[in-house]
A and B are shown apart, each in its own frame.
Chain A
Amino acid sequence: MRLLTCKQFLQELNDYLDETLDPKMRADLQRHVEECPNCWVVCDTTQKTLRVFKGMEAQPIPGEIHSRLMAALEKRMRDDPRSLCRRKTEV
């Protein structure tokens, strides 16, 4: 079994977290993280960092921005109806 340095562990951290490593490399990293308290903390807090960002829900957009978007779309659909119905008329 290969002994990794902390630097090597950090370089592989992404693939370790994303679970895209081959089993051999994953086992090496697993062994390192179990034996190195600092890397365990870095790994754990990076996982938590990703989790907290992934859990961030997109908030409703301000009403005026939504209204502006819908008004612009309605205008485009009126001005340029062919872009969506061209296929039908060409049949």
Chain B
Amino acid sequence: MSVWLLDWRVTLRVSTSSTIPGFDESALVVRAKAGDMEAFSDLVSHYERRVFRMAKQITQNDDDASDVLQETFLKAYTHLDDFQGNSKFYTWLVRIAVNEALMKLRKRRSDRTVPLDEPIDTGEDEVAREIAVWDQNPEDSYSRDELARILDESIQSLKPAYRTVFILRDIEEMSIEETAEALGLSISAVKSRLLRARLQLREKLTRQFKRKGDDAFAYL
């Protein structure tokens, strides 16, 4: 029997950077599962920004996002033995975070049905109302903060059912299958919601970024 000594007075390393030099997720997970606190701390430091951003995008609230962030990593720590490595660690983390964030939404909207169970448009009325080329690359036209504000406002205007699918698929870059599994949805439901989300965001951003000369009403 091996003796495993851990100094529980050790303070977790506080990192201000999201990038760990030579970051190797699999190796860190193996070490964390073996009880290496520093390895778990590295995983936290590497992913906390993305988990917080996702939580904030879903809950639209700093306080709720902070709670989600904390609960996500506490649960990940407690249930690390349950992580079998069949998916990426981050995908597993996202599943926990999404569940926590959706619980926040459900509590806040206790007078409503679960957001993800909302009736979804069938897509029969999918149309593109704003058809105009964009002025130029938004990245070149706006400051980082201004662009971030525009994107935040656009994504927050989506219904939760669309927003959550878009966040997982197009921001967190999970596959359709991973998104479906994380949200407990069918593949076809994910695809349908994703199309709606993408088209709605395109409409919103086109209103912001379209080339003015293409708009007959731009000078009225």
Contacts and interface: CB of A to CB of B under 8 A. Distances in A.
A81 B188 CA distance: 43
B133 interface: yes
B219 interface: no
Contacts of A68: 66, 70
A4 interface: no
Interface residues of B, number: 63
Contacts of B198: 13-14, 17, 46, 49-50
A62 B79 CA distance: 26
A51 to B, nearest CB: 9
A52 B48 contact: no
Contact of A88 (B4, B62, B127, B170): B4
Interface of B is mostly: helix
B77 A73 contact: yes
B49 A61 contact: yes
B50 A58 contact: yes
Interface string B110-142: 000000000000010011100111100111000
A42 B6 contact: no
Interface residues of A, number: 48
Given A58-B52, A70-B12, A41 B78 contact: no
Contact of A7 (B1, B8, B126): B126
Nearest to A67: B14
Interface of A is mostly: helix
B74 A76 contact: yes
Contacts of B4: 85, 88-89
A44 B133 CA distance: 8
Nearest to A88: B4
B162 interface: no
Interface in A1-28: 7, 10-11, 13-15, 17
B171 interface: yes
Nearest to B190: A14
Contacts of A15: 191
